[in-house]
Amino acid sequence: MTDAVTGTDFIALLREHGQWPQARLGDPSATLGLESTEATTILAVRYRDGVLVAGDRRATMGNTVVYDRADKVLMVDDRSVIAIAGSPANAYEIVRMLEMSFQHYRRSQLQELSLEGKLRTLSRLLRENLPMALQGIGAVIPIYATYDEADVTGKIFFYDMLGAQFESVDFCTTGSGSTMIRGALYYHNRWDVPLSQMDEGQSLELILKMLETAAEFDTATGGFRPIANVFPQVMRVNAAGISSIEESVLESLYETRLSQRRQG
């Protein structure tokens, strides 16, 4: 069955209606001097019941903080989320496209798109974005996390700029702050408590510590800022679906656990 026969493809539908302008590789000098907004550290960690996906809230342009409450973890459907690092403009559009694409498929074909089909769609969209990425202003590096009911487990997938898809077993982190914490996560997983055996509380605490660590060494990553009441964004993906971890929970964790050193 090809798209031409069933008309299942939402990307093709947009093209047909002239509503999916394909980015073209233009004159590279056109982008000189243009600094684009960037979203930074995101990470996804498998825990006992599924996956926790988190991101700091900072969006930067060069050394300017553009926004301190950016949402980098976005719900795609009732089963999956995408966390984005890179250009928010393109990332939001890709996520929106993906969301509509899955909905369109489910409603027109009367069945859910398979996990493989969903991953492939994201891959295609990243390839579409390649000309922008090559110009250095629109690269998107996403993490896709979902709960696989067939395998009764949470799964994490990550992509490179060209759209190659990889599955990561226990954790994944991308964005400018990721290099600061990748080793620490590996160490923890290998020689300390395995991440996938942690309960939600333990996993959440580890994630917040990691984001604070990234913020310490990477200026583009925003940490917890009590003065402005800015908290990282954390979403849980498990058998019950997708939900956000409330800011009040994060706040009390920061107050009681992460700042213990002050009292000691």
Partner 1 sequence: MLEDPYRWVEAIRNRREYVDDQLKTASPVVGCTYQDGLLLLTTTPGPRKLFEVYNQLAFAAIGHPADIEKLRKAVIDIAHLEAFNLSASDVSLHRLVHFGIGPLVKSAFDEIFRSPYLARVLVAELDPSQGQECFFTVDADGSFASHRDVVAMSGLAAAQPVIVDQLNAATGDLHKLTLEAALDRALNAWAHGHLPLADGDHPAPDDDTVRQFLSTALSTARIEAAVLDRTMPTKSKFRLLSAAEIEPLRLRYAGR
Active site amino acids: 40
- Each as own residue / partner, the long-range contacts of residues 254-257 (CB below 8 Å, 24 or more positions apart, any chain) are 254/208, 254/224, 254/226, 257/205
Site for partner 1 in 49-78 (CB under 8 A): 78
Residue 100 as a binder of partner 1 (CB under 8 A): the answer is yes
Residue 19 as a binder of partner 1 (CB under 8 A): the answer is yes
Per-position x/- string for 110-149, each x denoting binding to partner 1 as judged by CB under 8 A, each - no binding: x---------------------------------------
Residue 7 as a binder of partner 1 (CB under 8 A): the answer is yes
* Burial profile 90-100: b = 16 or more Cβ within 10 angstroms, e = fewer: bbebbbebbbe
Number of neighbouring beta carbons within 10 Å of residue 7:
13
Burial of 200 (0-12, 13-18, 19+ CB in 10 A): middle
Q: Rounded distance, CA 176 to CA 41, Å?
A: 6
Q: Which stretch binds partner 1 (CB under 8 A): 55-63, 104-112, 154-162, 192-200?
A: 104-112
Residue 103 as a binder of partner 1 (CB under 8 A): the answer is yes
Residue 202 as a binder of partner 1 (CB under 8 A): the answer is no
Q: How far is the CB of 105 from partner 1 (least distance, A)?
A: 10
Q: Name the residue among 6, 15, 18 with its Cα closest to residue 113.
A: 6
Binding site for partner 1 (CB under 8 A): 7, 10, 13-14, 17, 19, 78, 96-97, 100, 103-104, 107-108, 110
